[in-house]
C-alpha cells in the first residue's frame, strides 16, 4: 500500500510540474507494455489481453520517499 500511495503522489506531482520548464524532466514518461491490446476472437469467446506501465521520475521518487517515511515510522 505504501508503494502504491507513493506512486500516486509522484504522479500528482508530475502532473503539477508539467507547466514549469525547469521541472519538466520529472514528468517525462516511459511507457512499457502492449499498446494497443491484443484480441483473440474464437467465435464463441473473445479474449483481450493488454497492459501498460507508465513510469516517470516523479513517481519513482515518490515511491522512494514513501518507503523511506514508512521505515522511519
The 10s digit of each residue's pLDDT in 23-70 is 888 888 999 998 889 999 998 999 999 999 989 999 999 999 999 999
Distance CA 47, CA 43 (A): 10
pLDDT for residue 65: 93
The total of other beta-carbon atoms located within 10 Å of residue 55's CB is 14
What is the model's pTM? Answer: 0.72
The total of other beta-carbon atoms located within 10 Å of residue 7's CB is 19
> Residue 72: how many CA atoms within 13 Å on its side-chain side?
6
Cell matching residue 13: 506531482
pLDDT for residue 69: 93
Cell matching residue 36: 494497443
Distance CA 9, CA 63 (A): 8
Amino acid at each position: 500500500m505504501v508503494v502504491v500511495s507513493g506512486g500516486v503522489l509522484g504522479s500528482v506531482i508530475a502532473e503539477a510540474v508539467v507547466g514549469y520548464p525547469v521541472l519538466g524532466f520529472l514528468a517525462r514518461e516511459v511507457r512499457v507494455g502492449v499498446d494497443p491490446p491484443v484480441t483473440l476472437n474464437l467465435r464463441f469467446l473473445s479474449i483481450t489481453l493488454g497492459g501498460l506501465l507508465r513510469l516517470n521520475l516523479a513517481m519513482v521518487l515518490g515511491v522512494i520517499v514513501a518507503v523511506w517515511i514508512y521505515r522511519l515510522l
